[in-house]
């Protein structure tokens, strides 16, 4: 893995020049202001996900080409998670083959289900090391179970495979292996459809739309999500948990596509639909797949305001949010990353750094490899009138040795 410690701005400038474009021309193709393109290239403001999506489309490259992902692993335990990537890639390629040469016996499904549940907890708590240690072993065993069982037992095996593919996506996505993360979602969609499990099917749709949104295909994401919800709407009156979770989760993803495309009122409308579903559920902790519930909707409400570049609204929503101690660390860590971005938008650099420190404490690996964290810490470092050990130390911990 080649190490590239430049920031997004330098990569955007290089790609723009290779395409023979001026800053105004890139701005015109991206539907952005020339001043924003100039400020990002100069490192004066951090690139947002919406900026990255729009510019990557205009430059005919991937978002990862601009963020520099995957980042090199930090020395120590993180290398174990990176080492698993090759095994996961091979498993995703062999999804429809029976691993008869490597898996000769299969444990009872009830025993395997306990290990898969443990993987799910690791995913929800952003434990990359545990995912890296256990996925290469569990994936072939559950794949074998799918190919060697029938009826109800085969459905159980497919449900387990959904979790393993989702966890594979989580590991690949958060480490910056975008191509592998996309394949994992394709495999999860296959397993979910085979199992007939409503929430797993919705989770695959949720993540497929997220891929469209991250690439700037916002209208396509919105149209796709609307079609996914159409099959659920008629059942909502019955109030089944799986339908409410699916409906609400898909509305949250629609809110993200709307917010990143600059349609704030539409984002708030989708958020309201999700909140109504969460209120009907009435409690957190009922959904181990999408983690959908009142608290996660509150976390998303902050994120959507940040994506809409409304720092004041994001901070107001964050101040009113009470996160219970048992909320999964993945969600809480992402919340503090979003809060940090909101503080930076509002010009409060001290609070922005404090929020990053909170994210690091809660979910360290997730924080270290998050591109928005890298952009935020670079912005904080550039804004310092003099070098401070706290910001410089955090940057070094993220693998950033130069602020510009």
pLDDT, tens digit, 9 for 90 and up, residues 24-54: 999 999 999 999 999 999 988 999 999 999 9
Please report the pLDDT score of residue 378 as a whole number: 93
How many degrees, rounded to 5, is the angle at CA 335 between CA 389 and CA 354? 20
Please report the pLDDT score of residue 1 as a whole number: 47
Q: How far is 288 from 268, CA to CA, in rounded Å?
A: 25
pTM (2 d.p.): 0.95
Mean of per-residue pLDDT scores for the chain? 95
Neighbouring residues of 153: CB distance < 8 A, sequence distance ≥ 6:
109, 145
CB 316, CB 270: distance < 8 Å:
no
Buried b (16+ CB within 10 A) or exposed e, 37-52: bbebbebebbbbbbbb
Identify the CA nearest to 349 among candidates 321, 306, 390: 390
Q: Would you say residue 139 has pLDDT above 80?
A: yes
Domains defined for the chain, CATH in brackets:
1-68 (1.10.260.40), 70-196 (no CATH), 200-327 (no CATH), 336-404 (no CATH)
* pLDDT tier at 333, thresholds 50, 70, 90: very high
For the residues 281-292, what does the mean pLDDT come to? Answer: 92
Please report the pLDDT score of residue 403 as a whole number: 47
The percent of residues in the chain predicted with pLDDT above 70, rounded, is 97
- Token pair of 175 as six digits: 């480490």
Identify the CA nearest to 258 among candidates 266, 247, 269, 246: 266
Q: How far is 199 from 281, CA to CA, in rounded Å?
A: 14
CB 140, CB 99: distance < 8 Å:
yes
- Token pair of 21 as six digits: 């474009």
Q: Where are the alpha helices (DSSP H) in 176-286?
A: 178-195, 198-214, 218-233, 241-260, 264-281
Strand, helix or coil for residue 287: coil
For the residues 358-387, what does the mean pLDDT come to? Answer: 90
Q: How far is 307 from 49, CA to CA, in rounded Å?
A: 8
- Token pair of 253 as six digits: 């993803």
For the residues 304-321, what does the mean pLDDT come to? Answer: 98
For the residues 170-189, what does the mean pLDDT come to? Answer: 97
Phi, psi of 233 (to 5 degrees): -55, -45
Q: How far is 83 from 173, CA to CA, in rounded Å?
A: 15
For 194-215, how does the pLDDT look when each residue is reduced to its tens digit (9 = 90+)?
999 999 999 999 999 999 999 9
Q: Is the dihedral of CA 353, 351, 346, 300 positive or negative?
A: positive
Please report the pLDDT score of residue 404 as a whole number: 43
For 222-243, how does the pLDDT look when each residue is reduced to its tens digit (9 = 90+)?
999 999 999 999 999 999 999 9
Please report the pLDDT score of residue 4 as a whole number: 55
């Amino acid at each position: 893995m080649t190490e590239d410690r430049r920031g997004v701005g330098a990569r955007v400038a290089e790609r723009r020049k290779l395409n023979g474009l001026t800053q105004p021309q890139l701005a015109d193709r991206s539907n952005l202001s020339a001043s924003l393109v100039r400020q990002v290239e100069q490192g004066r403001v951090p690139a947002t996900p919406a900026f990255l999506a729009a510019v990557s489309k205009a430059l005919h490259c991937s978002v990862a080409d601009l963020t520099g992902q995957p980042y090199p692993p930090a020395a120590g335990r993180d290398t174990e998670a990176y080492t698993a990537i090759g095994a996961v890639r091979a498993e995703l390629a062999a999804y429809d083959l029976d691993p008869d040469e490597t898996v000769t016996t299969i444990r009872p499904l009830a025993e395997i289900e306990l290990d898969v549940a443990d993987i799910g907890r690791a995913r929800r708590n952003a434990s990359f090391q545990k995912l890296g240690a256990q996925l290469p072993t569990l994936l072939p065993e559950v794949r074998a179970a799918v190919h060697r069982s029938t009826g109800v037992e085969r459905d159980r095996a497919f449900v387990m495979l959904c979790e393993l593919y989702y966890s594979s996506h989580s590991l690949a996505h958060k480490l910056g292996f975008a191509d592998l993360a996309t394949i994992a979602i394709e495999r999860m969609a296959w397993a979910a459809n085979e199992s007939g499990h409503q929430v797993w099917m919705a989770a695959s749709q949720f993540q497929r739309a997220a891929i469209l949104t991250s690439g700037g295909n916002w209208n396509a994401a919105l149209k796709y999500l609307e079609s996914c919800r159409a099959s659920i709407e008629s059942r909502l009156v019955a109030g089944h948990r799986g339908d409410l979770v699916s409906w609400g989760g898909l509305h949250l993803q629609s809110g993200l596509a709307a917010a990143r495309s600059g349609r704030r009122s539409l984002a708030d409308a989708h958020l309201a639909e999700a909140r109504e579903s969460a209120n009907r559920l009435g409690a957190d902790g009922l959904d181990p797949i999408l983690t959908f519930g009142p608290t996660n909707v509150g976390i998303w409400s902050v994120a959507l305001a940040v994506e809409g570049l409304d720092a004041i609204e994001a901070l107001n929503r964050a101040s009113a949010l009470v996160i219970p101690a048992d909320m999964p660390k993945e969600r809480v860590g992402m919340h503090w990353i979003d809060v940090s971005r909101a503080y930076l938008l509002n010009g409060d650099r001290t609070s922005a750094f404090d929020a990053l420190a909170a994210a690091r404490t809660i979910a360290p690996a997730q924080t270290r490899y998050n591109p928005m964290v890298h952009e935020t810490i670079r912005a904080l470092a550039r804004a310092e009138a003099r070098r401070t050990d706290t910001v410089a130390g955090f940057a070094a911990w993220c693998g950033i040795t130069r602020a510009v």
